Amino acid sequence: MIRAILTAAFAVLALPAAAQVDIQEVTSPGGIDAWLVEDHSIPFVALDIRFQGGTSLDLPGKRGATYLMTGLLEEGAGGMTDQEFAAAEESLAARFSWNAYGDSVVISAEMLTETREASADLLRAAIMEPAFDETAFERVRGQVLSIIAGNQNDPDDIAPDTFAALAYGDHPYASQQEGTPESLAGLTPDDLHEAHRRLFTRDRLYVGAAGDITPEELGALLDHLFGDLPETGAEDVGEAPWNLTGGVTVVEFPTPQSVAFFGHPGIARDDPDFFPAFVLNQILGGGNFRSRLQDQVRVQRGLTYGIGTYLALSDHRPMLLGQFSSSNNLVAQAIEVVQAEWADIAENGVTETELEAAKLYLTGAYPLRFDGNANIAGILAGMQQDHMPVDYINTRNANVEAVTLEDVRRVAARLLQPDELHFVVVGRPEGLESSD
Amino acid sequence: MRHRLLRGLLGLAAAVWTAPALATGDVAEFTLENGMQAVVIEDHRSPAVVHMVWYRVGAADEPPGQSGIAHFLEHLMFKGTDDLAAGEFSQIVEANGGTDNAFTSWDYTGYIQRVSADRLGLMMEMEADRMRDLALDPEMVDTERSVILEERAQRTDSSPGALYNEQLRAALYLNHPYRIPVIGWRHEMEDLTREEALAFYSRYYAPNNAILIVAGDVDPDEVRALAEQHYGPLEPTPGLEPRARPSEPPQNADRRVIYEDPTVASPYVSRSYLAPERDPGDQETAAALSLLAEILGGGQTSLLSRVLQTEEQVSLYSAAFYDGLNLDDGSFTLLNVPVPGRSLEEAEADLDRMIARFLEEGIDPAQFERVKFLYEASEIYAEDDTSGLARRYGTALTSGLTVEDVAAWPEVIAATTIDDVMEAARMVFGQHSVTGYLTVPDAEDAE
């Protein structure tokens, strides 16, 4: 009975479901671009505001400045103290969040329709007129120091941080965006103003909007929020080097379970082979139970609770990365399984069954991503940041469908480099030593 | 100049109170003849549906000595039935462009799929199949036991904070099984058997112990027809009584938990009290405690954050939590992470000082109105998250509440007064408590 229905469902899915998303390209009277999905069913709007460059724009010796600057935006602005700003945000029931990443600083805002004007005034104050006053600066710097201390004691952070330090030379990617206790000690509020000037510019701005707002209203909002931004700021940083080769680095840490972080260079978003690589990663370690690694390491052998890989599409060094945790007495065996699967797919490609299953999943799941105003606003900002055409959503599933077994075989041979695959293992792994 | 913008904002905000017209989504409810309850939440904004089955059974219902069996069974539910091979359930969901998962807590175990709305019938067919016809290969059970031990190693044994919370909970509840971790105690997990899992399964996984929740682009009549087709033929378990767990005796002593680990980066102190949970038709005290948590340690203008973090700068982070969505007694917790150089004894004294000050000074009416407005607004934002709405009903209904209780909650919050909150605070803080330190060995010497 179930099999009969399943067959029917496969047949139906041969026509990929279309995402019902109507994107409007909005340009404000002042010339600021944004993408909008207009939906008046719930009385609020979500904005996703991104400044490309992120914490990688930190000046030499000023590591942590952009991260700290982002954390301080809501801690006093536009003539308000931190407490006054927080009380105003609560009074309006606006929801702002401020997040810093290696390639962008992301500001998410949700604003009720009935308080939108005043909420926008508040948001503008934080973005355009942050105070960075001395007291708030000291307090938030203390919070960042505790975050750094926490990361330095957490194997889930030590593993990728060690990998980055070994891999990326003197590029900002090699160090932690929060900075170090030493770099933070040298920062002043002036450094945060400088980080703000470098990053918060028109040419780095991308905006997605979704919810209860018209294109005209959005245009006015864009000019109000961003009209006074300077045109340009910092120069971009260059490409990150890749200084690792295949092998294992063990970092001793007192814990019953080791964390393994692994990877090697990947493929860029605009590479002609991107879609085959995307499908290949789904089959290799795309996070569901069907992936090769999840099946071989978890389901068949019980060596981990979960393993996954992902294409890290970083601006300055795209990577293929993965992570898992295994008890200290199992992790060496788990690494052997990963290495064997890596080599097998590089040499033999994948099966027709694996390819079809991955394509069915990817094409069917895609429309489900457009769920809720905040998610949609984020997708719209990300698409612009990646320089995708506005009709990308309509062509994306066809691009996945078009990937052939031969495409995957060719790209697997190019992308998967068993001899380049490096593992950083944090813990007390049994039978495993650093290879370098 | 300084307060120009702020005054404007507060003036505007004052006008907002009068216009909280909430566009709540349509919620329908029905019960099948075999006792299976169903809730349908309509949201036609995207062509997707969330399909969930929640069982009124969780870690607090496990037989003595079998801690972790509810969660282990949750894993085994993906390992095959008389119709489907191991792993095939998830394969079919994924082949239909969906995602699936499961979750276990003390009061419930739940299974969720998110798919295109036209696949709802297939999801029901498969979920109905595994409600009664699980078929477990013994060797696969052994491998999966290894997976849950790795899960415990990853989530608990590698995390000082998680190990600390586990010990705190065991101290907070003297007798109620909420004292036992959901994942299980390792020494008992190692001995869990296939037969124990199946015994637990055949008793509790039945339509008269299950709640169907469907949210998304669906019509309630169609959902009902599909549910009758797929879940209707399932046999109920006879003689399933409402759950009655061992209850708490009077707590006559304060307890202390000191957990030391060299990898703790930011030592902190926490204080937990038992607190009444939300009960059907009786949510007033819980509403007062929810507001109390916001006022004491919710946002940046809460008492703890404002005084300890901003004014005195003696705390890196502080918070208050109320956990009231349970079948039995909940908890109220305060937390304080002191700045470096300040001892945990001083941090504990800071918490005591804040409680005393709060009971003495009471609540600023402006803050009270802000917090209540945030609650109102959160209902608008919640409508954007269909899965979240579905989870809200599932959690409530497995905690003994009704659909009417969920619908009434915003009104109960709105009707709560400052006096109600103060009374709830005096009640909670008048009890014996558990005070815990998460710290490094010889912290005193290190300073």
Chain A residue numbers with beta carbons less than 8 Å from the beta carbon of B215 are none
Chain B: residue nearest A17 by CA?
B116
Chain B: residue nearest A90 by CA?
B370
Same-domain pairing of A277 and A405: yes
Q: Which residues constitute the domain of residue A169?
A: 2-226
B408: three-class secondary structure by DSSP:
helix
Same-domain pairing of A155 and A276: no
Neighbouring C-beta atoms of residue A113, cutoff 10 Å: 17
CB B213, CB B52: distance < 8 Å: yes
CA distance B50 to chain A (A): 10
Q: Which of A20, A96, A101 is nearest to A54 (CA)?
A: A101
Query: Against a cut of 0.90, is the pTM above it?
Result: yes
Same-domain pairing of A256 and A221: no
Same-domain pairing of A178 and A257: no
Task: List the CATH number of the domain containing A347.
Answer: 3.30.830.10
Judged by a CB distance cut-off of 8 A, whether residue B407 touches chain A is no
C-alpha span between A145 and B266 (Å, rounded) = 10
* Predicted pLDDT of residue B17: 31
B1 pLDDT band, cuts 50/70/90, is very low
Chain A residue numbers with beta carbons less than 8 Å from the beta carbon of B376 are 93
ipTM of the complex: 0.90
pLDDT in tens, B63-87: 999 999 999 999 999 999 999 999 9
Same-domain pairing of A297 and A162: no
C-alpha span between A386 and A392 (Å, rounded) = 11
Chain A residue numbers with beta carbons less than 8 Å from the beta carbon of B370 are 87, 90-91
State mean pLDDT over B243-263: 96
Chain B residue numbers with beta carbons less than 8 Å from the beta carbon of A84 are 3, 6
Residue B186: how many CA atoms within 13 Å on its side-chain side? 13
Same-domain pairing of A122 and A174: yes
- The answer to the question of residue A155 being in a domain is yes
Judged by a CB distance cut-off of 8 A, whether residue A401 touches chain B is no
Same-domain pairing of A31 and A103: yes
Judged by a CB distance cut-off of 8 A, whether residue B144 touches chain A is yes
Judged by a CB distance cut-off of 8 A, whether residue A353 touches chain B is no
Same-domain pairing of A151 and A221: yes
Chain B: residue nearest A426 by CA?
B158
Chain A residue numbers with beta carbons less than 8 Å from the beta carbon of B364 are none
Neighbouring C-beta atoms of residue B220, cutoff 10 Å: 18
CB A292, CB A284: distance < 8 Å: yes
Same-domain pairing of A138 and A30: yes
Q: Which of A82, A98, A78, A79 is nearest to A90 (CA)?
A: A82
Chain B residue numbers with beta carbons less than 8 Å from the beta carbon of A290 are 87, 90-91, 94
- The answer to the question of residue A231 being in a domain is no
More confident residue, B308 or B442: B308
B442 pLDDT band, cuts 50/70/90, is confident
Residue where the block lists tokens 């299976």? B36
Of A42, A253, A365, the CB nearest to B99: A365
Judged by a CB distance cut-off of 8 A, whether residue B19 touches chain A is yes
* Predicted pLDDT of residue B4: 32
Chain A residue numbers with beta carbons less than 8 Å from the beta carbon of B153 are 256-257, 305, 325, 327
Same-domain pairing of A321 and A281: yes
Strand partners, A35: A25, A208
C-alpha span between A67 and A219 (Å, rounded) = 29
Identified catalytic residue from B74, B127, B144, B166: B74
Judged by a CB distance cut-off of 8 A, whether residue B233 touches chain A is no
* Predicted pLDDT of residue A20: 67
- The answer to the question of residue A259 being in a domain is yes
Residue B70: how many CA atoms within 13 Å on its side-chain side? 28
Give the residues of chain A that fall short of pLDDT 70.
Answer: 1-20, 287, 436
Same-domain pairing of A217 and A258: no
Chain A residue numbers with beta carbons less than 8 Å from the beta carbon of B151 are 305
- The answer to the question of residue A94 being in a domain is yes
pLDDT in tens, B150-162: 999 999 999 999 9
C-alpha span between A87 and B366 (Å, rounded) = 10
Strand partners, A98: A107
Judged by a CB distance cut-off of 8 A, whether residue A109 touches chain B is no
Q: What's the structural domain count of chain A?
A: 2
Residue where the block lists tokens 């069917």? A364
- The answer to the question of residue A417 being in a domain is yes
Of A39, A115, A303, the CB nearest to B45: A39
Same-domain pairing of A57 and A111: yes
Residues 6+ away with beta carbon under 8 Å from A412: A280, A345, A346, A349, A350
B125 is catalytic: no
pLDDT in tens, B204-251: 999 999 999 999 999 999 999 999 999 999 999 999 999 999 999 999
Helical (H) or strand (E) element with B195: helix B194-204
- The answer to the question of residue A242 being in a domain is no
C-alpha span between A323 and A423 (Å, rounded) = 9
C-alpha span between B414 and B79 (Å, rounded) = 47
Helix A116-128 to helix A82-92 angle (10° resolution) is: 150
* Predicted pLDDT of residue B45: 87
Strand partners, B370: none
CB B301, CB B293: distance < 8 Å: no
State mean pLDDT over B143-153: 96
Taking CA atoms, A378 is separated from A123, A221, A375, A383, A388, in Å, by 17, 18, 5, 9, 14
pLDDT in tens, A239-248: 999 999 999 9
Binding-face residues of A in 179-208 toward B, CB within 8 A? none
Q: Is the pLDDT of residue B253 over 80?
A: yes
- The answer to the question of residue A302 being in a domain is yes
- The answer to the question of residue A239 being in a domain is no
Does the distance separating the beta carbons of A110 and B310 come in below 8 Å?
no
Judged by a CB distance cut-off of 8 A, whether residue B161 touches chain A is no
Of B45, B310, B381, the CB nearest to A82: B310
CA distance B374 to chain A (A): 5
B443 pLDDT band, cuts 50/70/90, is low
Residue where the block lists tokens 């052939």? A404
Of B47, B378, B380, the CB nearest to A42: B380
Strand partners, B112: B52, B101
CA distance A128 to chain B (A): 14
Residue where the block lists tokens 């009971």? B359
Of B96, B149, B339, the CB nearest to A9: B96
Judged by a CB distance cut-off of 8 A, whether residue A20 touches chain B is yes
Binding-face residues of B in 111-140 toward A, CB within 8 A? 114-116, 118-119, 121-122, 125-126, 129
